[in-house]
Amino acid sequence: MIYTTQQCKHCRQAKAWLKQHGVPFLDFDVGKPNKIQKKFFSIGGRSVPMFVVGEQQLTGFNPNKLKDFLSRSGLIPSPR
C-alpha cells in the first residue's frame, strides 16, 4: 500500500512508476483528517509517499530504492 496526498508531486510519480511496472497497490490519501490519516500517524508516518508492505516501510520516492524495497518484499522479481 502507499500513503499519499493529492498535492504531492512525488506521490504522483510513485503511483505512475508502480503502474508502469505492473505493481498492484492500494492508495490511501492522508491529506484530510480521517481514520486513514490516524492510521498513517500511528505507524510512524510523517511524510509521503510512504510505502508499506507487511511490517516494512519505505518513505519517499527514489526509483532504485523502491525497486529494491519491492524486490525484498517479494512483489517484483529480484534483479539478476
Number of domains in the chain: 1
Between CA 36 and CA 40 the distance in angstroms is 6
Has residue 68 been placed in a domain? Answer: yes
**Does 7 score more than 70 pLDDT?**
yes
CATH code of the domain containing 14: 3.40.30.10
Residues of the domain holding 35: 2-72
Contacting residues for 36 by C-beta, under 8 A, at least 6 apart: 3, 28, 29, 30
Q: Convert the pLDDT of each residue in 20-34 to its tens digit.
A: 999 999 999 999 999
Between CA 17 and CA 22 the distance in angstroms is 9
**What is the bridge-based pairing of β-strands 2-4 and 27-29?**
parallel
Q: How much is the pLDDT for 80? A: 60
Has residue 78 been placed in a domain? Answer: no
Work out the mean pLDDT of the chain and round it to a whole number: 95
